A and B are shown apart, each in its own frame.
Chain A
Amino acid sequence: MTQMPVTEIQSCARAERQPIRHRLADRGVDWSLLLLGPAVAVIAGLFLYPFIYGLSISFQPQAGGGALANYKNFFADSYQVGSILKTLRLALPVAFLSVALAAPLAYRCRRDFRGRKVVTLVVMLPITFGGILIAQGMPRVFSPVGWLNLTLKAIGLPQADLIYNYQGTFIAALLTSLPLSFLMMMGFFGGIDRSLEHAAATLGAGRAARFWRIILPLAAPGILTAFMLALVESFAIFPSAILVGQPDNQTHVLTIPIYQAASQNSDYTMASAIAVVLTAIELLILGVVVFVRGRLFKGPATAGKG
């Protein structure tokens, strides 16, 4: 019985609940959550709603024939199904190459050097121009009477067939995704503490060893992120596939049947179905990349307490 007062105090303390404000704050709920409001509204209204709408009408085919009729029709048509492969054949190499080209450039530009601004500006220009302007300018360079072929002709070399085919779209896609990859990776490379390279150097690592063993592993998550961005960008390629590609054959990418279904056949349900296929493939690839990235070292590339 002598312990009674003690237990009484304890139970009292337990019974008296903290004010609701404290308990909510403890769980991260406070007024600043309201700041999320506009973003949530935009995402719900402009992305989530159209997406769900599109998904649902893709299962309500215009011509009837069951919920999956659109998908069945798509996969039954070998010409249409072929566009999946054509998209992949375009998007994957473009993403690979744009990352491969941008990585050394971004590595070089990670810190200030004379002329960095000029290099950055030149690389960034295609973004400001946009895809259509690039696609429209390309014939002047690559067409049979463009300056490239005129130059080749003057030297006596064979003509380069770089437009109105796969190569044309490839170049246009590369030009738009390269700057994005560059911009993204420059941040990642720049975030790697300089003393890590210095430490590696004093331990006997030459330039190449420093890049492969220190810089690259630390930048790998960033490189994969850039790869994903480039991939998404070139998956949705459309203007250049038509303007500088061969839209009914080599560059008959998935966006073209979508456009045809929606605009030419006025079959939005079919367009939605193909868009869903496009999205599914994209998500599959991104899923793989995210999985790989998850297995890499992701901590800050700082050198310790600095």
Chain B
Amino acid sequence: MAITTAGANQNQHTSAVEFERLSLRGVTRAYGKNPPALRDFDLELGRGDFVALLGPSGCGKSTALACLAGLQPLTRGSIWRDGERIDTRPAEKRGFGMVFQNYALFPHLSVQKNVEFGLAMRRVARRQRQERALAALRTVQLEEHLGKLPSQLSGGQQQRVAIARALAIEPEVVLMDEPLSNLDAALRVEMRTEIKRIYQERGLTVLYVTHDQEEALSLATRLVVLRKGRLEQTGTPQEVYANPVSAYVAGFMGYRNLFPARFLASGPGRGVSVTAFGRSLAGTLISGGGLAADAEVTVAIRPEDLVISADADAGAVTALAEVVEYHGRELSVQARTSDGGVLHVKTDQPVVAGSTLALTARADRVLVYQGGLDRDEFAIEAGTQ
């Protein structure tokens, strides 16, 4: 399950401290007698990578980060920095910068002292400390707030101070634990761009934990999707987005229509036909093979891949538009089929609530996975684990 992240990274610069590769090998973390929060987790992080750990709360992503940072002991496994084993070192000797979900700014210290803290711990001379703190604050555009206490700043500013504080020590790797999930929507998008800009400018190596697929897709050079403490899929954002290996990953990648169906017959190549909503549906088999007729499968379709066709031809699923949301450029429609199934459609055609829609989708955009679907796994509410 090793993930290699060799080759293309977007960074021209190199980190201050040279390292080539950070490896987690078989890392397992169990709390008491509960099933492990993280099991046999392998991850390789090359210099200049931006890796996003993605999954719902409880999938083990924050645990992986805490293990790497040295904030939690490993139950099994090891962590290596090139040829050197580092998981036996305490957190303060690992030299990673960490950004926390709740910012974790020292409330009794000014912004400047917060940013200088890591440098003071490294016994950097006062003058140099001030210069480097100022430089870090300039990176996050907060240099005019030096003297303020964290409580005098807004949430977004506080998180920028936290980022500056982590950057000031010029860490080999920056670990970010859901850094944006406490910010409101507009600020989140702004800070996301900010993080990407800093990553590109400073040539950082980042491990980023999030439950938000949009964040993961927009920031990362490599995605790692976790499920119940295990690695589910890894790849570039494009790979994972286009070809989710399981219905679980599909659910994270914006395949909002996930519904159970019955296997009907195999077609040419990966083409299959399944029965759903009382109709036969042409799709592409992603996982599973040699399925018996009537076997349980799960179908995943993106809302934007459902097309409203003009006439109710034989292949189309008919559904009644129940809720129509206006999203500016497009409409988001929630429609109900005659047998009670719910479908989500994104369209630029005018739809009014109460109208009947004939919906079709291209066979290569209808992904079919073997087995049923566990809806509980998609409880992707924001929250710590």
Contact = CB atoms under 8 A, between A and B. Distances in A.
A213 B109 CA distance: 10
Contacts of B106: 196, 199-200, 214
A228 B150 CA distance: 29
Contact of B91 (A196, A198, A304): A198
Interface string B76-102: 000000000000001111111110111
Contacts of A201: 70-71, 90-92
Interface in A173-208: 193, 195-196, 198-206
A201 B69 CA distance: 9
A204 B70 CA distance: 11
A204 B118 contact: yes
A144 interface: no
A196 B104 contact: yes
Contact of A202 (B96, B105, B108, B151): B96
A302 interface: yes
A205 B102 contact: no
Contacts of A195: 100, 102, 104
Interface string B142-180: 000000011100010011001001100100000100000
A198 B70 CA distance: 9
A238 B289 CA distance: 87
Interface in B99-123: 100-108, 117-118, 121-122
Contacts of A297: 107-108
A299 interface: yes
Given A193-B104, A198-B71, A305 B182 contact: yes
A217 interface: yes
A209 interface: yes
B293 to A, nearest CB: 53
Contacts of B117: 200, 203, 205, 213
B90 A206 contact: yes
A187 to B, nearest CB: 17
A199 B104 contact: yes
A123 to B, nearest CB: 27
Chain B interface category by residue count: 35 or more
Contacts of A196: 104, 106-107
Nearest to A217: B108
A306 B158 CA distance: 12
Given A299-B149, A305-B182, A306-B182, A202 B98 contact: yes
Contacts of B107: 196, 218, 297, 299-303
Interface residues of A, number: 26
A213 B90 CA distance: 18
B197 to A, nearest CB: 22
A31 to B, nearest CB: 34
Interface string A288-303: 0000000001011111
B207 to A, nearest CB: 13
B105 to A, nearest CB: 6
A218 B104 CA distance: 13
B150 A198 contact: no
Given A193-B102, A202-B98, A299-B107, A304 B155 contact: yes
Contacts of B96: 202
Interface string A206-234: 10010001100110000000000000000
Given A305-B102, A305-B155, A204 B108 contact: no
Given A204-B122, A205-B121, A214-B106, A299 B100 contact: no
A203 B123 CA distance: 12
A57 B97 CA distance: 67
B104 A204 contact: no
Nearest to A306: B102
Nearest to B175: A202
Given A203-B169, A305-B103, A198 B98 contact: yes
Contacts of A217: 108
Contacts of B149: 299
Contacts of B71: 198, 201-202
B188 to A, nearest CB: 13
Interface string B42-86: 000000000000000000000000000111000000000000000
Given A200-B117, A203-B165, A297-B108, A303 B102 contact: yes
Contacts of B100: 195, 198-199, 303
Contacts of B121: 203-205, 209
A184 to B, nearest CB: 19
* The 3 residue pairs across chains A and B that have the minimum distance between CB atoms: A306-B102, A304-B103, A203-B118
Interface of B: 69-71, 90-98, 100-108, 117-118, 121-122, 149-151, 155, 158-159, 162, 165-166, 169, 175, 182
13 contacts: A195-B100, A195-B102, A198-B104, A199-B104, A200-B117, A203-B92, A203-B117, A204-B122, A218-B108, A300-B107, A301-B108, A304-B158, A305-B102
